[in-house]
Chain A
Amino acid sequence: MYSNWVNIAMEIKKGIAVSPGISIARSMIIDSEDYRIPRREIKPSQRLVETQRIRNAFNDAIEELTRLGAQQDLAESGKIRDIFAVHLRLLRDRSLRKKITDLIHSELVTAEYAVSKVLREFAAHFSSVKDTYISERADDIYDIERRLLRQLLGKKREEVKGLSEEVAVIARELSPTQTAGFNKQFVKGIATDAGGRTSHTAIVARSLGIPAVVALEDLTEIVRGGDTVIIDGNRGIVIVNPDEETTLQYEKYSSEFLELEHKLDAIRAKPAVTRDGTRIAVFGNIEFPDEAEVVLQKGGEGIGLYRTEFLYLSSPTEPTEEQHYEAYAATVRFLRNRPVVIRTFDLGADKQTQSKRFAPEPNPFLGLRSIRFCLQNLMMFKTQLHAILRASLLGHVKIMFPLITNHQELMQAKMILRDVMEDLDDESIPYNRNIEVGIMIETPSAALTASTLARDTAFFSIGTNDLIQYTLAVDRGNELVSTLYSATDPAVIRLIRMVIQDANKAQIDVSVCGEMASEPDYIMMLLGLGIRTISITPPMIPEIKQIIRSVTIEDCNNVARKVLSMNSERHISSFLRSAARKILPEAF
């Protein structure tokens, strides 16, 4: 009796929440031929289906190869024809096919895993032979493996497009081709092993409004197709095979969450003013032009951070100036005269283009990323600046340079902006000559030299995610050290205070656009430190506004003063949590 339960033991995985909401659905796993296929078990009743899939995959692969072979010019070198012929013989090899189907029957594994396991064993065998002429044949075997997996997985992708019931999609990582057919009506949640806040999966999930959690490490090895999965996109948790009690809890939590959202939506038209009358500007961070609508819906007063990487990441080719312009113009027009802060490309490190046109670096976060990348790819950078300037007359546009680490970098970026302005003058294209240019403060070096940087910039926006990671030297995607990543570390708080003080002295605007400002726990401290402008993820706007409307600046000052006197990250975070809980108990 109990042994049955062992197989479906509940498992809880923690990852990074990238798109809010809760889903409870049956899992559908999408493997990729680019990665090792994890071992995954099937129910005994599934055996015939899987062996039939093997048969189809072999037959289709043979057909595909025969077609390709026929296209080869007969005058073509005999070698190529031989390769086709050999691969066809391998696909027709009965003992190979039998080995694969036997594995499915004896070990109850998926077709994908069986194909991969058997062929990789063969390949390993070839590789181990000393004779190079024979050991190189391992490549042929890998080629066959990929061909078969493409057949198996291609059909699976078609299945996603033709879904007729609700599922949670589980994958190692999702590529644009995989997500292209996603239908919001049936794909209820997404969870992936890899990825970060700005990975393609995260971007797609947010734009479709599907709850998603990424960076779950080995989720695809734990889940079996058809398992029930809870995806908690608020807390970054995925629960596989939840027990009855957990399911009930989550059903309750899910409806409470919707109710709270509904309630908070009611305050969207009200201004973000503290009880003692201090006005706080609340803006939204966006990724795509169409998210601007969500910002206004939720009560945001403008766009405080318009990430532009999507232009690069969602297109197989480099975006044209016109594509840039269209994207900016659409957003700026939509916002009327509300501010739109366009951040120039923040590419590199975790944000690579699909075509992987960047060579891998040993330490990408300390490498050629963000503004550094732009300053070395001037054509691309100028194209973007040209488009932003053209859009600058359509509304209230500001430019923001990311990851500035020193004054010289800022001057270089501004010089290039002036070059582009001259180009526009030559072309007689009108633009806003007095466009405000600001920078993100995301590194300790920028924070420590904020007084110098403030002389040549119109505003600061503190990017807390990178500031925390660089200050504490912690990669939060690395689970071995992720507990050390904390917004409440005294070092981080002191740097933020320093930036705010230097901005105030220089009389320039300073805002926080990192995730820290979207956290109900931290908002009082930020106001107490002197922040009057924040830019946050749109779904959080109502809740943060609600907190702002429930506090006084005096309360906030007291909280900040207390925090600055504390020396332990743990004390600070528990103190902030209890302070926030008193204000808005339902949010926790």
Chain B
Amino acid sequence: MGKAVCEIAVEIKNMHGLHMRPAMQFVDIANQFACDISVSNGEKVVDGKSIMQIALLAATHGTKLKIKAEGDDAQKAINALQELVESRRFIDPDSYV
């Protein structure tokens, strides 16, 4: 039985890009899922669960990324990450800022 594979293209829309704090939010969500998650900026593909690697993508405002998930809960993971990156733009629901 083949694994579920989901892929989506997103654009970084928050002003300061994918710096440490957003990277942290990203991997925190990614790590809630069992599936493997990778992120690509067209040049390199990194582990979506590693904060170091996500931060190293140096994705600034306007960067387009491809998120790929492989595993049973792949679709759920993709949905959650898309929500974080594009809908919420890394703003915490409970944040004051």
A contacts, CB < 8 Å to B: 78, 82, 85-86, 89-90, 93-96, 122, 125-126, 129, 131, 133-134, 137, 140
Contact = CB atoms under 8 A, between A and B. Distances in A.
B57 to A, nearest CB: 9
A interface SS class: helix
A90 B52 contact: yes
Contact of B55 (A82, A85, A137): A137
B28 A89 contact: yes
B52 A96 contact: yes
Most buried by A among B16, B23, B51: B51
A86 B22 CA distance: 10
Contact of A86 (B51, B58, B96, B97): B51
Given A133-B16, A133-B19, A85 B24 contact: yes
Contacts of A86: 20-21, 23-24, 51
B55 A134 contact: yes
Interface in B14-60: 16-21, 23-24, 27-28, 47, 49-53, 55-56, 58, 60
B55 A95 contact: no
Nearest to A118: B52
A133 B56 CA distance: 12
Contacts of B24: 82, 85-86, 89
Nearest to B92: A78
22 contacts: A78-B95, A82-B21, A82-B24, A86-B20, A90-B51, A90-B52, A93-B27, A93-B51, A95-B49, A95-B52, A95-B53, A96-B50, A125-B56, A126-B56, A131-B17, A131-B58, A133-B16, A133-B19, A134-B19, A134-B55, A134-B60, A137-B19
A50 B69 CA distance: 34
Contacts of B52: 90, 93, 95-96, 122
Contacts of A89: 24, 27-28, 51
Which 10 pairs show the lowest CB-CB distances between chains A and B?
A95-B50, A129-B58, A89-B51, A86-B20, A133-B16, A131-B60, A96-B52, A134-B58, A93-B52, A89-B24
A140 B51 CA distance: 12
Contacts of A94: 49-50
A94 B27 CA distance: 12
Interface of B: 16-21, 23-24, 27-28, 47, 49-53, 55-56, 58, 60, 95-97
Contacts of A85: 24
Contacts of A125: 56
Contacts of A95: 47, 49-50, 52-53
Given A134-B55, A134-B58, A137-B55, 12 more contacts: A82-B21, A85-B24, A86-B23, A86-B24, A86-B51, A89-B27, A89-B51, A96-B50, A96-B52, A122-B52, A129-B58, A137-B19
B56 A122 contact: yes
Nearest to A87: B20
Nearest to A92: B51
Nearest to A131: B60
A129 B47 CA distance: 19
Contacts of B17: 131, 133-134
Nearest to A98: B50
A50 to B, nearest CB: 21
A504 B28 CA distance: 83
A78 B92 CA distance: 12
Tell me which of B16, B49, B58 has the highest count of chain A C-beta atoms within 10 A of its own C-beta. Answer: B58
B48 to A, nearest CB: 11
A134 to B, nearest CB: 5
Nearest to A91: B51
Contacts of B19: 133-134, 137
B12 to A, nearest CB: 11
A137 B51 contact: no
Contacts of B56: 122, 125-126
Contact of A78 (B28, B50, B55, B97): B97
Contacts of B60: 131, 134
A131 B62 CA distance: 13
A93 B49 CA distance: 8
Contacts of A122: 52, 56
Contacts of B21: 82, 86
A85 B21 CA distance: 9
A89 B53 CA distance: 12
A571 B21 CA distance: 71
A568 B60 CA distance: 69
B25 to A, nearest CB: 10
A67 B56 CA distance: 28
Nearest to B15: A133
A134 B63 CA distance: 14
